[in-house]
Chains A and B, each alone.
Chain A
Amino acid sequence: MSRVLTVARNTFREAVRDRVLYNLVFFALLMMAAAVIVGQISMDIETVVMISLGLSAISLIGLLIAVFTGVGLVSKEIDKRTLHAVLARPLQRWEFLLGKFTGLVMTLAVNTAAMAAGLFLALLVVKHSLVRGDSVVLVAVFLILLKLMLVVALAMLFSCFTSPLLAILFTGGIYVAGLFVSELRSLQVTNLTPQMQKFFAVISYILPNFGNYDVMGAAAHGRGIAGRLVIYNTLYTLLYCAIVLGAASVIFSRKDLK
């Protein structure tokens, strides 16, 4: 485990030194501008707008980092051959993958936490006070982080067997398809042949259900989010990540490096 953490720590350090966290400046500027503009609207929708905008920005920025950095986690090491000296250590290839994954998730967690703090600050500016119900925003942020974990795992899987560009396209494609899993399942009630119904049913259960993580509406309107949903989503993410990373490890462990 210490070897995994060593790789994770270095991955986090790399992200920091490669200025990945500079996106926080952009987020801060966005929140400041939003707070000023929303303050002018003053139609009792400031909170809804601020939370929707903030969560969308947290999600989008996180997704961009998860996809682009996630794809580069392994492919960059292979291309630059930095991996050769690392794999000469008593380190299994799956440990390296897990370390890289953990390191990027740590980076995303810090990044997401900082953006969440920025969002709360902006809310404080707009509302002049925070209430207990605002804590639902934290739950929404946590679910975004879970979603990002899954995106990182997928990006790593694709980067293990294809080019970085294709890995980005595949990850993006799976993410977009995963947003429509519920719609795909509801196709079963339309006039489809039994074979097609079966096909879509199978696909809908194989695809990661990214729609599950979207609680932005509930968070923006201060509606509670069921604890059960959070627990199920957490377990779902952990299980899905384990399967995806397991597949990535099998591929990566047999891969000839340059």
Chain B
Amino acid sequence: MPSPAIETESLAKEYPHGFLHLKKKTSLEGLTMQVQEGEVFGLLGPNGAGKSTTIKLLMGIIFPTAGSARMLDKPVSDVSMHREIGYLPEQPYFYDYLTAAEVLDYFARFHGYSGAERGERVERMLKKVGLETAGKIQLRKYSKGMLQRVGLAQAILHDPKLVILDEPMSGLDPVGRREVRDIILELKNAGKTILFSTHILSDAEVLCDRVGVIAGGKLRGVGAPGAIVGMKTVGMEILFELAEGKAMAGKFLATASKSGGGYRLSVAEKELYEALDELSEAGAKIIAVTQIKPTLEDFFMELVGKERAQAAAVEVSGK
């Protein structure tokens, strides 16, 4: 079995704070996870959950208090492995006195490309992220979304095996987000391993093979976006039509809402047949009956809700 592209073992990070740095704030606690080669893995979590801390630890920007991490079969302290890794920092900021083309050329130099090859790669990347006409403008004149595109371009400039993106959709308009999604899918199809953090759940649901949910510095669950929230049905949805003038009376009919040309009714799974009987008696035409499954968002909100309630309890108790 091939070794994972990313592997962390009880990874933890504490920051000293307070007077004389005597207090410790835990930012990440005992993170053990694996990202397999060729997979798109999403790190989900609210702001301050520990997503960026995890990524910074992997990229050697900060150092762990405990535990270890390996990428592409090498410890993260070995920067030679960065030849095979592309990284987009959160809210990327580059030298604003340079143009996009110059920034990309600067980064390409670290990979030892010849002048001609650098020129070709820079041009190709600018085109890929939709900046081919803005490549000669200094970055100080760029919008946040444009900087994000430059960030993405520099991350994939050297055709890395593993791409780590910290909030890649941040600051982008819907068109930009769609383009970034397409680039991620393109990278996936090219067999790259991708780890990205986000708090936009729809992106994770669309793009990820697996997600890991982090909250309060701890990993709360890992799995396929569908599996992580469980396969349990939380209810049933009935779409039906009812002739005009018919009374919307009854235990279930009274709760139905208008939807397009028909009506929509949500009921508990155990009440399905009772509701169908009532609709049938009322002369309704059943269009569809579907299971309601929890979304990643529901799972996420439940988790964050618990976390906040816990934090509030700690704050109230003063512990």
Contacts and interface: CB of A to CB of B under 8 A. Distances in A.
B106 interface: yes
A208 B61 CA distance: 32
A87 interface: yes
A91 B110 contact: yes
Interface of A: 2-3, 6, 10, 13-14, 17-18, 80-92, 254, 256-257
Given A254-B63, A256-B62, A257-B62, A85 B110 contact: no
Given A14-B97, A90-B110, A257-B62, A85 B154 contact: yes
A92 B79 contact: yes
A256 B95 CA distance: 21
Interface of B: 15, 56, 59-63, 79-83, 85-87, 89, 91-95, 97-98, 106-107, 109-112, 151, 154-155
A14 B139 CA distance: 13
Contacts of B151: 85
A2 B97 contact: no
A82 B154 CA distance: 13
B82 A90 contact: yes
A18 B110 contact: no
A6 B103 CA distance: 12
B94 A82 contact: yes
B93 A90 contact: no
B106 A6 contact: yes
Contacts of B110: 3, 6, 89-91
A17 B79 contact: no
Nearest to B16: A256
A236 B94 CA distance: 37
Contact of A2 (B62, B82, B112): B112
Contact of A91 (B63, B79, B155): B79
A89 B107 contact: yes
Interface centre among B79, B80, B85, B155 (most CB of A within 10 A): B79
A85 B107 contact: yes
B83 A90 contact: yes
Contacts of A81: 89, 91-93
Contacts of A256: 15, 61-63
B62 A88 contact: no
Chain A contact residues: helix, strand, loop or mixed: helix
Contacts of B86: 88
B60 to A, nearest CB: 7
A80 B155 CA distance: 18
Max chain B C-beta neighbours (<10 A), residue from A90, A92, A254: A90
Contacts of B80: 90
A118 B109 CA distance: 36
Given A85-B151, A87-B60, A256-B61, 8 more contacts: A10-B95, A13-B97, A81-B89, A81-B92, A84-B92, A87-B61, A91-B82, A257-B61
A88 B59 contact: yes
B148 to A, nearest CB: 12
A90 to B, nearest CB: 5
Contacts of A82: 93-95
Nearest to B106: A10
B122 to A, nearest CB: 15
Contacts of A86: 107
A91 B97 CA distance: 22
A10 B93 CA distance: 16
Nearest to B154: A85
A85 B87 contact: yes
A256 B28 CA distance: 15
Contacts of B109: 2-3, 6
A6 B98 CA distance: 14
A254 B106 CA distance: 25
B107 A84 contact: no
List of 7 A-B pairs having minimum Cβ-Cβ separation, nearest first: A88-B87, A89-B110, A84-B89, A17-B97, A256-B62, A6-B109, A90-B82
Contact of A84 (B15, B61, B97, B111): B61
Contact of A14 (B59, B79, B89, B95): B95
Nearest to A19: B97
Contacts of B81: 90
Contacts of A254: 63
Contacts of B60: 87
A85 B63 contact: no
20 contacts: A6-B109, A6-B110, A13-B98, A80-B93, A81-B91, A81-B92, A82-B95, A84-B59, A84-B61, A85-B87, A85-B89, A85-B107, A85-B154, A88-B82, A88-B87, A91-B79, A256-B15, A256-B63, A257-B56, A257-B61
Nearest to A257: B61
A89 B82 contact: yes
Contacts of B62: 256-257
A80 B97 CA distance: 13
A256 B91 CA distance: 18
Contacts of B59: 84, 87-88
B106 to A, nearest CB: 6
Contacts of B85: 88
Interface centre among B56, B86, B95 (most CB of A within 10 A): B95
Nearest to B88: A85
